[in-house]
Amino acid sequence: MHVVVESSRIIKPAHNADHIRPPLTTTQHIPLSVFDKVTFDTHVAVIYAFRPPTPPNSVIEEGLAKVLAEYGEYAGRFGEDSEGNRVILLSDEGVRFVEASVDTTLSNAMPFKPSPSLLDFHPSADGVEELLLVQLTRFACGSLVLGFSLHHVISDGHATSNFLVSWGRASRGLSINPLPLHDRTSLFVPRQPPQLEFEHRGVEFKSKKSRDSNTENPLKNEVVIHKAHFTKEFLSKLKAMASAGRDQPYTTFQCMVAHLWRVVTKARGLNGCETTHVRIAVDGRRRMIPAVPDGYSGNLVLWAFPRANVRELMKRPLQYAADLIRTEVAKVEDSYFKSFIDFSSSGAAEEEGLMPTADADEMVLCPNLEVDSWTRFPFYDLDFGGGSPYYFVPSYLPVEGLLILLPSFIGDGSIDAFVPLFHHNLDSFKLCCYSMD
């Protein structure tokens, strides 16, 4: 499959009388929230595939210009305010828009394998100023692949999915709903005096010295991504096994993560004395009191870190791991979010030279895992006028131990897990992946 780039240009917001927000000037900016500052400082890319009929590129481009008039951050740039703080400049400088083609049919190219070839569906994000990069790739059969790359500091998965659905609505001539809420400061005001009820050093923050002392893993270039498909029937059995004897059954997510934690740990062949943890994203929109509006356009995620001794994790039943996950995720609630706001606003992180533990340069997580669940995001609600996408996948992201879960494109309640591992651990993972022992 050879992708040929036909054109590349900048698309700027289309301001007119129909849009609520007036054009912005280069002096206006949005400060980063405490949540924006601790997220992964990198572009994150996803891929959509649409079967024909699909609207022409011009319709999708026009919709993009319209939605950017409401989502000004996406068309801006990073910069600094008068005090040297990193901010989002509302400069309307625009987003990168690339058109490309492939001289084959989508059916010949499917299913997409999690390999470096997926990067051909995106403009390169290396060294770019644009916060959003889009590529429309047309296949000979009329199918369309959308490559979407957005800088994570701009928004989390919840807010990004709102933007994508709004882009589709704008392309179909519909109103944008919900309208984005751009206020990133007044929602997260620290308490006076601060109430630091929880430890945040070593959780959301780490020492820069600890990062500098970490030696680069020589095997980082030997990571392969395996796509594991878990049927609805398998998930039901897993849930029943983990929940046996419990008044409150574990959720499918808790059981799925518990299972993957155990089988990846087994495949890695770790020393039984080691400690392993799972980093799990927790959305604060419904956990904070009062709840944050659905249209909030920034980041609002912290993390739970269930941890266990390797020997205990492997020796004890699935229920043990599921319970660890449920317990730790439950702790990340309103008081925890507010404690984090107080600590992050206190200046302690800057004074102590701390940096976020969400480190985009960390390419090997072993003995630990990170699990990103995209199962509840409405990514399949994106409709430019020809219907919902046929296929949705993350792009190629070879970070050992970074697992991504998403609903299977089959649409039957099954889940696909993208599991990056060292090549020498892959056969072992395949052997135990579907074992419930």
Please name the CATH architecture into which domain 3-172 falls: 2-Layer Sandwich (3.30)
343 sits in which H/E element: helix 334-345
pLDDT, position 110: 87
Which of helix, strand or coil describes residue 85?
coil
What is the maximum alpha-carbon separation in the chain?
A: 65
CA distances to 323, 328, 431 from 254, rounded to whole Å, are: 8, 11, 22
What is the arithmetic mean of pLDDT over 36-42?
98
DSSP single-letter state for residue 360 = T
Which of helix, strand or coil describes residue 307?
strand
> What is the Cα–Cα distance from 282 to 257, expressed in whole angstroms?
14
* 8 A C-beta contact, residue 367 and residue 275: yes
pLDDT tens for 196-221 read 999 999 999 999 876 555 556 777 78
Is pLDDT of 154 > 60? yes
Sheet of strand 86-89, all strands in order from the earlier edge strand to the far edge? 29-31, 86-89, 77-80
Half-sphere exposure of 248 (CA within 13 A, CB side): 6
Instruction: Give the pLDDT band (50/70/90) at residue 432.
Output: very high
pLDDT tens for 219-233 read 778 999 999 999 999
> What is the Cα–Cα distance from 76 to 87, expressed in whole angstroms?
10
**The pair of three-digit structure tokens given for residue 56, joined into one six-digit string:** 């022409």
What is the arithmetic mean of pLDDT over 258-285?
97
pLDDT, position 391: 92
Which of helix, strand or coil describes residue 120?
helix
Catalytic residue set: 152, 383
SS3 content of the chain, % helix, strand, coil (to 5): 30, 25, 45
pLDDT, position 16: 76
pLDDT, position 215: 59
Half-sphere exposure of 6 (CA within 13 A, CB side): 11
Mean pLDDT of the chain: 94
pLDDT tens for 55-95 read 999 999 999 999 999 999 999 999 999 999 999 999 999 99
Return the amino acid letter for 315. Answer: K
First CA to last CA across the chain, in angstroms?
41
Q: Do domains 3-172 and 223-433 have the same CATH topology?
A: yes
Closest CA to 166 of 391, 383, 434, 422: 383
Which of helix, strand or coil describes residue 160?
helix
What is the arithmetic mean of pLDDT over 327-345?
98
What is the arithmetic mean of pLDDT over 265-287?
96
* 8 A C-beta contact, residue 389 and residue 50: yes
Enumerate the domain spans of the chain: 3-172, 223-433
Is pLDDT of 290 > 80? yes
pTM of the full structure: 0.94
Instruction: Give the pLDDT band (50/70/90) at residue 185.
Output: confident
Please name the CATH architecture into which domain 223-433 falls: 2-Layer Sandwich (3.30)
Considering only CA atoms, give the Rg of the chain.
22
What is the dihedral sign for C-alpha 217, 278, 397, 134? negative
* 8 A C-beta contact, residue 365 and residue 260: no
pLDDT tens for 170-182 read 999 999 988 999 9
